Amino acid sequence: MKLDHFLLLALATAAVDGCVRERDIGSVDPFSELAKRSEGQLHLPHLSKFESMLLNSFDNTTVDTWAYYYTHGLHIAGTNRSMAQWTADKWAESGFTSSVVSYDVYLNYPVSHSLSLTHSDGSTWKASLEEDVLAKDDTTSYPDRVPTFHGYSASGNASAEYVYIGRGQKVDFQRLLELGVDLKGKIAIARYGGPFRGLKVKNAQEHGMIGCIIFTDPADDGNVTVAKGHKAYPDGPARNPSSVQRGSVQFLSTYPGDPTTPGYPSRPDSPRVDKSPVVPKIPSIPISQLDAEPILAALDGHGIAGQKVNRTRWVGALNTTYSTGPAPGVKLSMSNVMHDTYTPIWNSIGIINGTEQDEVVILGNHRDAWIVGGAADPNSGSAVMIELAKAFGKLQAAGWKPKRTIVLCSWDGEEYGLVGSTEWVEEYLPWLKASTIAYLNVDVAVSGPLPDVGATPELHKIAIEAMKKVVWPYKGRRDTSMYDIWKTLNGGEIEVLGSGSDYTSFLHNGIASLDVGAGGDGSTDPVYHYHSNYDSYHWMSTFGDPGFHTHVAVGQFLGLLAYHLSTDEIAPLDVTNYGIEMTKYYQKLKKYVAASQYKDLDAVSKLQRKARYHRSNRKLVKHLNSVYRDFGRGFVSQGGLPDREFYKHMLYAPGLDTGYAPTTFPGVTEAIDAKNRTRAAEFVERASNAIYVAAGILASCHDCDNPVVQEQI
C-alpha cells in the first residue's frame, strides 16, 4: 500500500501560534468572568447511572484520612515498605488484585553537610542549612525528618571564591563568559526556577566550577511575600523564609530511571554501568533565602551588577545587587557527605481484569516524598488514588465490569529520577506496548485551586468532556465546573508534556499519556513550599485545600477518564487531534527555522501534509480499538535523540537545557540550536518517517472501511 497516496494525519487547519502559553491571569476578575459564563447556574452534562455513582463515591472526609496517613511517616525512596503494602491492601479491599514489586536501585542518602562564608577580613559566617521547627506543624519536628540535601548529589568538599550564575541555564553561562567573569575553579550560587535543578549543576560542572549551591528567591512568590504585607507560614500564606527546596540533581534530560541500569530493569544481579553521564561529579547543596542573602550580599560591588548582566530573572527580591562576583578573598567552604547504596524500592500494583485483556488502562502516582509530609507532592495524588480505587470497588459491586483491564500503580523512587516507574516500564515494555491504550498520571494532585492538564493530543477530547462533568470547588464556590475554571482562570489550553513526573517512560514509548493536578497562580494564592518540610498535612489543611474538596474534584476527573477509557465500546481516543496539534508544533518549528541561519532548510516543508480524516462505520470495533491503541507507537523512532536514546518520541522531548519544559520536534529544533545542518536534515527525515509510520497504522484500517485518510495537497 502506498502511503504517499493517502497522506497523513489531519495536519489540517490554519496556522496557529504554537508558542508556549504565557500564564497571565492576574488581571481577570474570576467572579465576574464566571458569572458571565454561567450566570450563577451550574449546568452539568447528563450523567449516566455509573458516572453518578462514581462521582458520588468520592468523599472529602475519607480523602482526608488517607492524606493524614501518608503524611505522618518517613517515606523517602526505599525507606517505607509498609506504606507500599498499606497502599496495596487498601486497593485490595476495593477489589483490585494487588501486590508489591521491588527493584534494587542506586540511591544515595544524606549523611552530613556544612556551608560557611569567609569574608576578606577573615571573619566567617555559617549557614544554618536547617528548616525551622514549627510548633503548629507537627511533622516539622519529627526526629527522622529529612535533612536539606540534593538526591544523587556528589560527596565532596569545595572551598573557593564564588560566582552568582542566575538560574544557571546555558544562556546565563554564555552571558557570564561574554562579560569576562572567571568561572574556573569557583563555586556557583544559582537561583531556583527555570531549568531542572540537575541541569544547573551540570552546566556549572561543564564550566569547570567545583561546587554548586541553589537557593529559593522570594521574587518567585509573586505578591504573596512578607515584603508585600503577608505573614509567613505558619501564620499566613507567604513562604516561611527558612524553607528549602530539596530535589534530585540527576541529569534528567539525558535519561531518567536508575542511573546504573539504563534501558533495563534493576534486578539484584543486573549489570551496572558508570553513572557519571547522568549524575554530577561536583557537590551541591540547596539553601533557603535566609542563608542565601548574606552570601549574595558579600558579592555586592564585585564583578558585574545584576542590572547590567541584564538576563531574565537574574535580579530577585533579596536585599542585594545580585552581582556576579567573584569578590577577591571572599570564599565559600562547602562539604557534602552522601551515603551511596544499592537498595530495594517498592511499587504497589493493583489490577482489575477487563473482559478484553489485550487492552489496558494504567493510572499512576508516586508515593515517595522528600520529606515526612509530602501533602501536595505526591501524597495528595496518593490519597486520591485510594479514593478512586474505592469508587471502582462500588461500581463493581453494582454490577459494572470493565471491558479493558485497569492497572493502578503507586511508584517509589520518583523523586530521585522517576526510578520506580522507569524500571517497571523497562521490565514490562513488550506487554505495555502491545496492550496499553493510555497512561494517566497524578503527582501533585493539589497544591492550589487551579486545575492543570497536560496530555498527548488523542486524549484532549475526553479530558475536556470529563472536565465538564466535575463540579470544581473554587475559593468556597461550588457553582462552576472544572472546565469553566480551567477555561476562564487557567488559560484553557491542554499543555504539552515535557518531563518531571512518571508519565515520561510511557510517553517516550509512544503510549497516550495525561497528567493532571491543581496548583496556585504563582502570584496571589498561598505559596506552596515545594520539597520543603512545610509541604505538610498542616499546610494542606490550613492553606492548600482546607476541606479537601479540590482533592475530591481531581479524583472525580481521573475517575471519569479511567471509567470511559476502560468501559466505552470504542476507545475514546481522538487520533485526528494529533494532526491539529502537530500543525501547531509545525508552525512553531517553521518560525524557528525562519529565524535561524537555515532559512533554506526547506526539507521542513516535508513535514507539512494536509489531509482529512473521517471515521465512517464502526463495525469492526476490535480492529478499530487496536488501531487507536497502537497508533501513537508510530511516533517512536529507534535510536532516539542524539546522545539520549531514551527519548524516542519524534514530536516531544524535555528540553536539553530545561529538563521540565517540553520541546516539540526536538531532533530538528536542537540540531538548529547546535548549528548542525546535517543533523537537522536527518531529523526532518526521521520525524517525517515517524509521522508516516503513525499514519500507516491508521491507514491499516482503510481496508476495514473505517478511518479514511484523504489527501488534500
Ligand X SMILES: *[C@@H]1O[C@H](CO)[C@@H](O)[C@H](O)[C@H]1NC(C)=O
Residues that bind ligand X (CB under 6 A): 26, 60-61, 64, 69-70, 72-75, 80, 82-83, 97, 114, 157, 222-223, 297, 310, 319, 335, 353, 357, 523-524, 547-548, 642, 676, 678-679, 682
Alpha-helix runs per DSSP H in 25-59 = 30-38, 49-57
Radius of gyration in angstroms for the set of CA atoms belonging to the chain, rounded to a whole number? 25
Minimum distance of ligand X from residue 349's CB (angstroms): 12
For residue 238, the Cα-to-chain-centroid distance in whole angstroms is 24
Which residue, 6 or 314, has its beta carbon nearer to ligand X? 314
Which residue, 258 or 443, has its beta carbon nearer to Zn ion? 443
Contacting residue, 30, 211, 378, 473, with Zn ion by CB under 5 A: 378
Pairing of strands 662-664, 124-126: unpaired
Which residue, 416 or 613, has its beta carbon nearer to Zn ion? 416
| Residue 377, contacted partner among Zn ion, ligand X, none, CB below 5-8 A by kind | Zn ion
Which residue, 77 or 332, has its beta carbon nearer to Zn ion? 77
> Grid coordinates standing for 363?
493510572
Minimum distance of ligand X from residue 74's CB (angstroms): 4
DSSP state of 705: T
Minimum distance of ligand X from residue 462's CB (angstroms): 25
Minimum distance of Zn ion from residue 451's CB (angstroms): 17
Q: Decide if residue 280 touches Zn ion (CB under 5 A).
A: no
Are 88 and 97 in contact by the 8 Å Cβ rule? The answer is no
| Residue 147, contacted partner among Zn ion, ligand X, none, CB below 5-8 A by kind | none
User: How far apart, in Å, are the Cα atoms of 40 and each of 24, 198, 484?
Assistant: 25, 47, 12
Its sign, for the CA torsion 352, 353, 356, 359, is positive
Minimum distance of Zn ion from residue 90's CB (angstroms): 20
Residues 6 or more apart whose Cβ sits within 8 Å of residue 397:
95
> Grid coordinates standing for 202?
551540570
> Grid coordinates standing for 656?
536539553
Minimum distance of ligand X from residue 672's CB (angstroms): 12
Pairing of strands 97-118, 331-352: antiparallel
Between CA 152 and CA 196 the distance in angstroms is: 14
Pairing of strands 150-151, 124-126: unpaired
| Residue 80, contacted partner among ligand X, Zn ion, none, CB below 5-8 A by kind | ligand X
Q: Decide if residue 247 touches Zn ion (CB under 5 A).
A: no
Helices 482-489/460-468 angle, 10° precision: 110
Between CA 165 and CA 472 the distance in angstroms is: 41
Minimum distance of ligand X from residue 201's CB (angstroms): 19
Indicate which residue of 161, 359, 387, 414 is catalytic: 414
| Residue 515, contacted partner among Zn ion, ligand X, none, CB below 5-8 A by kind | none
> Grid coordinates standing for 57?
463515591
Residues 6 or more apart whose Cβ sits within 8 Å of residue 122:
none
Contacting residue, 131, 172, 258, 377, with Zn ion by CB under 5 A: 377
Which residue, 371 or 573, has its beta carbon nearer to Zn ion? 371
Task: Decide if 427 is catalytic.
Answer: no
Which residue, 113 or 197, has its beta carbon nearer to ligand X? 113
Residues 434-473, mask of contacts with Zn ion (x by CB under 5 A): ---------x------------------------------
Q: Which residue is nearest to ligand X (CB)?
A: 73
Which residue, 366 or 404, has its beta carbon nearer to Zn ion? 366
Beta-bridged to residue 455, according to DSSP, are: 514
List of residues contacting Zn ion (CB under 5 A): 377-378, 443
The residues carrying an active-site annotation are 414
